[in-house]
């Protein structure tokens, strides 16, 4: 399925205590059946593909639903901001945001970074994604 009305590519990075977490290839793709969700990944680069036959908003929460990983206002998988010394911070295009994670609206060439640290550690945005190297 190739998006005829909407075709955008945001980028997602996730880190836990400075270590990158891989965003898997083939989220939203059923290889056995040959089906593909409008929101999917092809590889482990963190580039998200939104290819839709109609123009409508796509949110970060939709990707995590396809991935099968819990995503709530301040929770990513088993990491919950304020619990067990976890701190979840989100940066969009290098700027900290307080927008609830599931409702971050995906935009073309947007750079979303979820930074999970231990409380007391100052979270910092990663270097911007290099779109020129993405091909």
- At 126 the pLDDT is 94
Q: H or E stretch including 103?
A: none
Mean pLDDT computed over every residue of the chain: 93
Over residues 69-111, the pLDDT tens digits come to: 999 998 999 999 989 899 999 999 999 999 999 999 999 999 9
Query: Could you give the angle at the alpha carbon of 103 between the alpha carbons of 99 and 105, nearest 5°?
Result: 95
The rounded percent of the chain whose pLDDT value lies above 70 is 97
How much is the average pLDDT of 108-124? 94
Place of tokens 């067990």: 84
Domains annotated for the chain, with CATH where assigned, are 6-125 (2.170.130.30)
**Residues 6+ away with beta carbon under 8 Å from 62:** 39
What is the distance between the alpha carbons of residues 48 and 51, in angstroms, rounded to a whole number?
Answer: 10
Is pLDDT of 11 > 70?
yes
Collapsing DSSP to helix, strand or coil, 80 comes out as strand
Does the pTM exceed 0.95? no
- At 104 the pLDDT is 98
What is the distance between the alpha carbons of residues 48 and 37, in angstroms, rounded to a whole number?
Answer: 12
């Amino acid at each position: 399925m190739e998006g005829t009305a909407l075709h955008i590519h945001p980028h997602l990075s996730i880190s836990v205590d400075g270590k990158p977490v891989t965003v898997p290839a083939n989220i939203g793709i059923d290889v056995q059946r040959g089906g593909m969700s409008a929101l999917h990944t092809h590889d482990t680069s963190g580039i998200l593909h939104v290819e839709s036959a109609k123009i409508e908003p796509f949110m970060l929460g939709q990707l995590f639903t396809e991935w099968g990983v819990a995503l709530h206002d301040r929770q990513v998988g088993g990491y919950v901001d304020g619990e067990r010394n976890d701190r979840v911070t989100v940066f969009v295009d290098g700027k900290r945001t307080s927008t609830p994670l599931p409702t971050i609206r995906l935009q073309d060439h947007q750079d979303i970074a979820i930074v999970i640290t231990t409380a007391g550690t100052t979270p910092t945005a990663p270097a911007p994604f290099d779109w020129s190297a993405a091909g």
